Amino acid sequence: MTVLTTARLIVRNWTDSPADLARIFDLYSRNEVVRWLGAAPGLPLTDPAQAADRLALWRARHADHGDRYGSWAVQVRDTGLVVGTILLKPLPGRDEQVPTGDIEVGWHLHPDSWGHGYATEAARALVDRELATGTPQVYAVVSPGNVASMAVARRLGMTHLGRRTDWYGGEELETFVRRALPDSPGGH
């Protein structure tokens, strides 16, 4: 199912096709990708069979969210290449089992697809769509030192709030926000 399209990209559900499962394994077995995903349980993948488990986890996590929140495949329209994952979801809180009302956008691209602006393009469309529903702000949280990811947040026009410990079990994370309405100095 297609969630949205942009000039170059389709954002769609990951499927259990052999090609998608192979790509999930290739992406999430790579240290240069998973090193930045915090203490995500079960990563890196070490066996191709684990790709189906990862897909099942995403499906279960977002079963009640329709196409509003999810972890989706990003595919290049012209070539069909799946370049990675884009996600939108409620941030887990200081107690990681309890989701907060704060919404996170995130991006995980295969290294063969870095340097083309795909993360920024997909995230911009997703954030715009979410803000248009009335959500006041969308966050991005980044492990300190992940320069490439912080650059995506800045390209999206997000404001850097510094390091926060409000989410993901209290982990210290560089926090960026994009608000639906611009800050008004002295405003209420």
Ligand X SMILES: CC(C)(COP(=O)(O)OP(=O)(O)OC[C@H]1O[C@@H](n2cnc3c(N)ncnc32)[C@H](O)[C@@H]1OP(=O)(O)O)[C@@H](O)C(=O)NCCC(=O)NCCS
> Which residues lie near ligand X (CB under 6 A)?
33, 36, 106-109, 114-120, 142, 146, 148-149, 151-152, 155
Distance CA 107, CA 149 (A): 8
Distance CA 45, CA 60 (A): 19
The residue nearest ligand X at its CB is 117
Is the CB of 33 or the CB of 63 nearer to ligand X? 33
Exposure class string for 85-105: b at 16+ Cβ within 10 A, else e? bbbbbbbbbeeeeebeebbbb
Is the CB of 36 or the CB of 52 nearer to ligand X? 36
The CB-of-188 to ligand X minimum distance in angstroms stands at: 33
Q: Is the peptide bond before 99 cis (omega within 30 degrees of 0)?
A: no
The CB-of-145 to ligand X minimum distance in angstroms stands at: 10
Distance CA 111, CA 184 (A): 39
The CB-of-150 to ligand X minimum distance in angstroms stands at: 8
The CB-of-164 to ligand X minimum distance in angstroms stands at: 14
Is the CB of 14 or the CB of 107 nearer to ligand X? 107
